[in-house]
């Protein structure tokens, strides 16, 4: 059992403070590459003032758009030059996919936490919302100050 009293732990003790985020008008291809290259489950979507406007997750990429299936999307990115020579119809489909922006598939009403929320509140958020990961942490002005993932919930327990 850890020395630290779990009841004294807040979200700010478990969250990651260095947040990688995207904006609404970021091309979906760029955002998907970011998620894949960092092995993230998702990224907060912010405006020019770092205020949260949504979240983009792997789930959003796979489920919310019939045009997107992440493994297929990755294969298209890898073989784009070959496909460009194959058919004009496929080029049209690729053009439609490449025109998509983060705002086209993001969740614009994400679950959030506050830095001062308790460990139990954080734990319950993940229990009650199975598909949610990560959860943006915002201040009173909706500015993103961190993110917390299922993995981060375990950090205070093992320390």
Tokens 């260095």, residue located: 18
pLDDT in tens, 53-62: 999 998 887 7
> Other CB atoms closer than 10 Å to residue 72's CB: what's the count?
12
Please state, in angstroms and rounded to a whole number, the distance separating the CA atoms of residues 27 and 105.
11
pLDDT in tens, 81-92: 555 555 565 566
Domain 6-158: state its class: alpha beta
Please state, in angstroms and rounded to a whole number, the distance separating the CA atoms of residues 143 and 19.
11
pTM: 0.77
């Amino acid at each position: 059992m850890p020395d630290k009293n779990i009841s004294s732990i807040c979200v700010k003790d478990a969250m990651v403070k260095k947040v990688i985020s995207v904006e609404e008008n970021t091309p979906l291809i760029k955002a998907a590459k970011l998620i894949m290259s960092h092995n993230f489950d998702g990224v907060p979507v912010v405006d020019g003032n770092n205020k949260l406007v949504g979240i983009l997750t792997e789930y959003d990429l796979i489920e919310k758009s019939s045009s997107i299936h992440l493994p297929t999307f990755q294969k298209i990115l890898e073989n784009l030059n070959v496909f460009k020579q194959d058919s004009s119809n496929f080029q049209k489909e690729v053009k439609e996919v490449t025109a998509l922006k983060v705002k086209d598939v993001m969740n614009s009403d994400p679950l959030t936490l506050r830095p001062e929320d308790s460990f139990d509140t954080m734990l319950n958020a993940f229990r009650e919302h199975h598909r949610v990961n990560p959860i943006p942490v915002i201040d009173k002005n909706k500015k993103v100050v961190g993110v917390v993932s299922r993995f981060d919930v375990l950090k205070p327990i093992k320390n």
